[in-house]
Structure 1
Amino acid sequence: MPHFLTLLLSSLLIIIQLHVHVHVHARFVVEKSSVSVLSPTSLKSKHDAAIANFGIPDYGGFIVGSLFYPQTGAFGCLPFQGDKPFKSNTSRPTILLLDRGDCYFALKVWNAQQAGAAVVLVMDSIDESLITMDLPEDSTEADAYVEKIRIPSAFIEKSLGTTLKEAVRNAEDVVIRLDWRESVPHPDNRVEYEFWTNSNDECGTRCNEQMDFVKSFKGHAQILEKGGYTQFTPHYITWYCPEAFRFSSQCKSQCINHGRYCAPDPEQDFGVGYEGKDIVYENLRQLCVHRVSNETNRSWVWWDFVTDFHVRCSLKDKRYTKQCAEDVMKSLNLPVDKINDCMGDPEADVENKVLKIEQEMQIGHGARGDVTILPTLVINEVQYRGKLDRTAVLKAICSGFKETEEPPICLTSDIQTDECLERNGGCWQLLQQNITACKDTFRGRVCECPVVNGVQYKGDGYTTCEAYGPARCTINNGGCWSETKNELTATACSNSDISGCKCPSGFRGDGQNCEDVDECKERLACQCEGCSCTNTWGGYHCKCSGNQVYMKDQDTCIEKSGSKVGSFLVFLVLAVVVGGGLAGYMFYKYRLRSYMDSEIMSIMSQYMPLDSQNKVESHSETETLRQGAV
């Protein structure tokens, strides 16, 4: 049953049956461009074409090109062989005609883009009214190429396609103009546009697409709004809970105001994480942010709130809370009380005035169709088709102005928003050093911790940025405590500690605030007998009574005279040692040396005759020699 309810409540749109009991049928409007055959002369004509819901249509512009029809693989479901096989022989771009069937429309266009086509026309296979070529259903395979499609495409009727195909087969030079200049009406000098979105950031590819668009288009939107060129209104789709399930635990977890306004469970699991009613309530908050800020002529603040909320309070980071949302509102100087009053009581068994209007607006009126998918952009009552690309959407909005009445941003997109000039854009800043996390870009302001003189700041950029790295103490003391007294400076910042603040020795605190420790009062020093302690800023001074000296390492006092006796004893010992050494040397030199000399002489005399003996032995030896000679 829970899984069944999840699917049921996720698919039943409010447009099927409104709570006011008005039964309606969903009305989908096909948005169109025009296709004109310029040559051959015999085929000159103008027709409607349905703009595809992917790729990038050239709103406000047109393309003239040569028509090609492939001899093989006319369905375009497989990559075309060769390098740019449909390259035109003229300077005109290539418009490729393909048959309907066998694969996704988007895959056909992707393969055509890879083969060098500038525009794709897909011809119907049956005689019927025009349909919109939509995105494939959720598919991992399709996700790989859908976001990469950059060329426009359109769907044409079978009769026109057959005529064009025959002309190409007969080797005629078929020239086509695809025109989007009248796709968006321009009744006056102000463009009104709506964006149907969702605060849920965990719904897959569509959620990522709409959030990426909001971030990238924010700067353009704010410039247009501040200049009075546009009137922007955000909208949010809500579901309702069928009467039979209104008091079930599943409906209660997904709906507010007794089942009147619902959203699917973000995790598709009723037992974990956030609930659908959390999404509804945040959607309501974002509607009230726009409504309240619009009352004070600051309607463009909605773009800042939504982007900041996505960064600071996402579902993925488990910070999707009321408190986080209110912190964002405060940083943008939004009146929290008024916004809460606007939201009303989600538990009351009554209609919510804001969400009731949303349900009514979801139903198409005039030229605009019903809103059935997210995200949906509506410009001058016409639904925008194609990828939510920043430049493409700006062109579509600009095409809604009368000629020569476009605002300057329509002529150049490289314009900065200068949001940092007002309250520093709601970002963190250090006034004393003129350091800020606010950066203006043509996409709007961003809050990003800066790098200043080689020092990196880290934090969320909105409420906190802290210096990080070895050089951090050179700028505002690394954001740590510092104080100077009596020409002495103490700091909680240390270059050896690349992050954090720590009070130095003699102080205690959290590093942002440090106070002197009274070592004397807290008996942390000078505990020796006879010691007296005097506290100093960041330290202490110990003094011993009488004729004593304080030894800090041992926290003790010793007698000054005792030190003289000790020195004398040391001197005496050294004198004895030196004297003993001298006596030993004298003994060795005179007594021991004489004894050794006599002993050596005695030994040597046994082998070496004395001088008198030498003379006798020499005489005898001479006589012997003489006798031998005879």
Structure 2
Amino acid sequence: MDRRMWPFLAFAVVVAAMVPMPALGRFVVEKSSVRVLAPEHIRGHHDAAIGNFGVPDYGGTLTGVVIYPDAKATGCAEFPKKFKSKSGRPVILLLDRGECYFALKSWNAQEAGAAAVLIADSVDEQLLTMDTPEASPATEYIDKINIPSALVNRAFGESLKRMAEKAEAEGEVVVKLDWRESMPHPDERVEYELWTNSNDECGPRCDEQAAFVKSFRGHAQILERGGYARFTPHYITWYCPEAFKLTRQCQSQCINHGRYCAPDPEQDFGAGYEGKDVVVENLRQLCVHRVANDTGRPWAWWDYAMDYKLRCSMKEKKYSKTCAEDVVTSLGLPLEKVLECMGDPEADAENAVLSKEQVDQIGRGSRGDVTILPTLVINDVQYRGKLERTAVLKAVCAGFKEGTEPHVCLSDDIETNECLHRNGGCWQDKATNVTACRDTYRGRVCECPVVNGVQYEGDGYTHCKAVGPGRCALNHGGCWSETRGERTFSACSDNALTGCRCPAGFQGDGHTCVDLDECKEKLACTCADCRCNNTWGSYECGCSKGNQIYIRGEDVCIASSMSRFGWLVGILVVSCAAGLGVAGYVFYKYRLRSYMDSEIMAIMSQYMPLDSQNNEHQPLRQHASEA
């Protein structure tokens, strides 16, 4: 047990000793049966006190061979070898009491191959419950113990030792450990209760409770939804004797004028939270269960208990009334009824809810007093063993009559469908139907999701936002966006992995953006002759005088250097020049062609007679022939 729990128990013992009890309290040792099967002459049934660590096999049996080590019989040191029986049956290691913690003996036995441990008492006394030692780094093995253990009385232990030592000559000592009757099953419904605490600053004990609520919630809710089980949470309180009511200790640790008290979480009356803060939250959680039960949803307590530890922890300085009421509201429970149930913690009067808790703490029937936290009681029998999901589920299922076990006892394939009711009290973006609620066999979990490769970040309860590349494709990353006509602006930028920033032309926080009037704010068109016209997301600039031109890059208006008549003359001059150029080109091309034709004719005349020349000499040749 953590050292911070010592003042807790010391306060409890002192105050409880001064509190009048309605009935005589007592501590009940939960027992199982040890049946000796061989040798024949020692056969019989014996009691064994179930250890409050490891995993008792509730509802089951284990038949094995008893082995008593030749050396290191106390089990306080590691064994050099694995134990094995000749027949191949499981080994039930018998060890002596003394010299070290009970849990350490079981751990060393488990490491040496034992399936169970029997520890023989060293004195003649009534059986007692072997409990876990004070939690410390040196006792981290406690959570790793997965075998059952039990304490047997001195006489029976000595008998087993003698028989085990003669095993070579007379045969193995075979015993059967039977837990089938350790958990009563009076009817077809199991009733169980958990004595717990809303304080999360009491070290490993508080961490164990929180881990159990988180892991067992899914099983508990299915059992209760199907009508198979009835669960009730409980919280331990004490009250201050009359002589101490005005002390600083009682005033800081008690409500209702000293009637209901809890120890200071930090054991420092001048800093941090006070014991009365714990009492008020314990009261609230009791009322959450009552109101949830009245509204037909008793299983909602499991959601509240886990969500409160996650959202309103002392370590993060969020253990407050405001945070608690936010959790109540998120689960859809009527807050006004919870407040009505709680009453006034400052009143000088009894509180009916807490007074009943003080009465219920006293042992009744087969159940003993509740003296330590956490304590689990199933069918009015205190559960022994570590507070772990599968171990507790097996113990609860052992409380059903054979053949009446619900499906949850036969399979771990469980879905709670809690996300179907108010989205499990988790965050949800209704525009995109993205939700932080994820259904598991342990119950719903509020975790910001990953959608199409885009991660959402947040607490999963009140907010989640998309981060990283691609976030703007999912509802603009949760940022502002608006469309008018064919234009759309968004405060989400793919260049930024987080956050929202209004785009150019708008102003706001990124979740709300409004058009920025650049003209009114004198952010554009600021020159003397400039004319400004604001548009949605932008602006337009011009010049107030017709003979000026606006240059946007310089935000200036400049005068034109030529009149309209000058521009017309200039255009005419250019046109004439162009016409003269074209005419010159045509004339030049024609003269060049004529010149080239004459030159060609001259060259050809030098090499062949022309038709005109032939015609001129032809008559002379005709006259000569005739003479």
Shared fold (TM-score greater than 0.5)?
Answer: yes
Contact 2:185 2:401 in 1 (8 A): yes
Provide the residue aligned with 2:554 in structure 1: 554
Q: Number of paired residues?
A: 557
Provide the residue aligned with 2:598 in structure 1: none
2:141 is the counterpart of 1:145: yes
Q: TM-score, normalised by structure 2?
A: 0.86
Provide the residue aligned with 1:77 in structure 2: 76
Contact 1:32 1:48 in 2 (8 A): yes
Provide the residue aligned with 1:619 in structure 2: none
Q: How does 1:58-77 map to 2 (within 5 A)?
A: 58-77=57-76
Give the deviation of 1:22 after TM superposition.
3.5
Provide the residue aligned with 2:126 in structure 1: 129
Provide the residue aligned with 1:578 in structure 2: none
Give the Cα separation in 2 of the matches to 1:560 and 1:464: 60
Contact 1:13 1:239 in 2 (8 A): no
Give the deviation of 1:9 after TM superposition.
6.5
Provide the residue aligned with 2:17 in structure 1: 16
Provide the residue aligned with 1:533 in structure 2: 532
Q: How does 1:418-437 map to 2 (within 5 A)?
A: 418-437=417-436
Provide the residue aligned with 2:505 in structure 1: 506
State the one-letter code of the partner of 1:526. Answer: C
2:117 is the counterpart of 1:120: yes
State the one-letter code of the partner of 2:12. Answer: S
Q: 1:394–1:304: structure 2 CA closer, same or farther, 3 Å change rule?
A: same
2:112 is the counterpart of 1:111: no
Q: 1:169–1:349: structure 2 CA closer, same or farther, 3 Å change rule?
A: same
Q: Deviations over 1:463-495 (max 9, x none)?
A: 101000011001111001111113111100001
Give the Cα separation in 1 of the matches to 2:61 and 2:18: 40
Contact 1:15 1:26 in 2 (8 A): no
Give the deviation of 1:138 after TM superposition.
3.9
Give the Cα separation in 1 of the matches to 2:298 and 2:496: 45
| Structure 2 unaligned blocks of 5 or more | 567-627
Contact 2:18 2:241 in 1 (8 A): no
Q: 1:562–1:253: structure 2 CA closer, same or farther, 3 Å change rule?
A: farther
Provide the residue aligned with 2:154 in structure 1: 158
State the one-letter code of the partner of 1:216. Answer: S
Give the Cα separation in 1 of the matches to 2:7 and 2:95: 39
Give the deviation of 1:248 after TM superposition.
1.7
Provide the residue aligned with 2:392 in structure 1: 393
Contact 2:15 2:240 in 1 (8 A): no
Contact 2:22 2:359 in 1 (8 A): no
Q: 1:12–1:168: structure 2 CA closer, same or farther, 3 Å change rule?
A: closer
Give the Cα separation in 1 of the matches to 2:557 and 2:102: 95
Q: Deviations over 1:583-613 (max 9, x none)?
A: xxxxxxxxxxxxxxxxxxxxxxxxxxxxxxx
Give the Cα separation in 2 of the matches to 1:225 and 1:80: 45
Contact 1:13 1:238 in 2 (8 A): no
Give the Cα separation in 1 of the matches to 2:341 and 2:204: 31
Give the Cα separation in 2 of the matches to 1:6 and 1:80: 37
Give the Cα separation in 2 of the matches to 1:188 and 1:174: 37
State the one-letter code of the partner of 1:10. Answer: F
2:399 is the counterpart of 1:403: no
Give the Cα separation in 1 of the matches to 2:38 and 2:547: 119
Give the deviation of 1:563 after TM superposition.
12
Provide the residue aligned with 1:592 in structure 2: none
Give the Cα separation in 1 of the matches to 2:467 and 2:562: 54
Find 1:96's aligned residue among 93, 96, 99. Answer: 93
Give the Cα separation in 1 of the matches to 2:456 and 2:145: 39
Q: 1:141–1:542: structure 2 CA closer, same or farther, 3 Å change rule?
A: same
Give the Cα separation in 2 of the matches to 1:188 and 1:23: 29
State the one-letter code of the partner of 2:154. Answer: K
Q: 1:277–1:497: structure 2 CA closer, same or farther, 3 Å change rule?
A: same
Give the deviation of 1:253 after TM superposition.
1.1
Q: 1:528–1:9: structure 2 CA closer, same or farther, 3 Å change rule?
A: farther
Contact 1:17 1:24 in 2 (8 A): no
Provide the residue aligned with 1:55 in structure 2: 54
State the one-letter code of the partner of 1:318. Answer: K
Provide the residue aligned with 2:273 in structure 1: 274
Task: Name the SS for the 2:144 alignment partner.
Answer: coil
Q: 1:146–1:283: structure 2 CA closer, same or farther, 3 Å change rule?
A: same
State the one-letter code of the partner of 1:430. Answer: D
Q: How does 1:343-358 map to 2 (within 5 A)?
A: 343-358=342-357
Q: How does 1:424-503 map to 2 (within 5 A)?
A: 424-503=423-502
Q: Deviations over 1:415-440 (max 9, x none)?
A: 11111111111111122222111111
Give the deviation of 1:279 after TM superposition.
0.7
Contact 1:9 1:239 in 2 (8 A): no
Task: Name the SS for the 2:396 alignment partner.
Answer: helix
Q: Deviations over 1:269-322 (max 9, x none)?
A: 111111111111111110000000100110000000011111111011111111
Contact 1:490 1:504 in 2 (8 A): yes
Fraction of identical pairs, as percent? 64
Give the deviation of 1:15 after TM superposition.
4.6
Q: Deviations over 1:147-171 (max 9, x none)?
A: 1111100010111111111111112
Task: Name the SS for the 1:440 alignment partner.
Answer: strand
Task: Name the SS for the 1:561 alignment partner.
Answer: coil
CA RMSD of aligned residues (A): 1.8
State the one-letter code of the partner of 1:113. Answer: Q
Provide the residue aligned with 1:579 in structure 2: none
Provide the residue aligned with 2:584 in structure 1: none
Give the deviation of 1:250 after TM superposition.
2.2
| Structure 1 unaligned blocks of 5 or more | 566-630
